[in-house]
Amino acid sequence: MAKSHSPYSHFPVGAAIRADNGKIYAGANIENVAFPQGWCAETTAISLMIMDGGTQIVELAVIAERQAFVPPCGGCRQKIAEFALPEARIWLCDSVGPAQCHRLAELLPFGFSTDSLSL
């Protein structure tokens, strides 16, 4: 979260992934003046995981500076689902630490999957 680039929203967000390879990947939101072109903290962390050879999210934590218990946005929930099992734990944190825990299936009950594409 400390490395967030959020000059427009002033809403720093951080995320950390524990991947199947045992490594932790941290990310922060990075805004762009063309608002849809920025990306979320979860996206940054997922990108780092994939680029380092990680393949699966075991659990993920999200924290925001100005609001407690910020869940991943809808787009990030779908991105997380691409790399996590429905049982993966998503931790919503406040300034003290993890405060709530949800399974991905609870946060994205009817997400798109390869089954949706008939692959």
- pTM score: 0.92
Domains of the chain (ranges; CATH) run 13-117 (3.40.140.10)
What crossing angle do the helices spanning 74-83 and 41-51 adopt, rounded to 10°? Answer: 20
CB-hemisphere CA count at 13 Å for 95? Answer: 3
Residue 119 is predicted with a pLDDT of 59
Amino acid of residue 16: A
Q: Over its length of 119 residues, how does the chain's per-residue pLDDT go in tens digits? A: 999 999 999 999 999 999 999 999 999 999 999 988 999 999 999 999 999 999 999 999 999 998 889 999 999 999 999 999 999 999 999 999 999 999 999 999 988 887 777 65
Q: Residue 31 catalytic?
A: no
Q: Which one from 42, 65, 87, 106 is the annotated catalytic residue?
A: 42
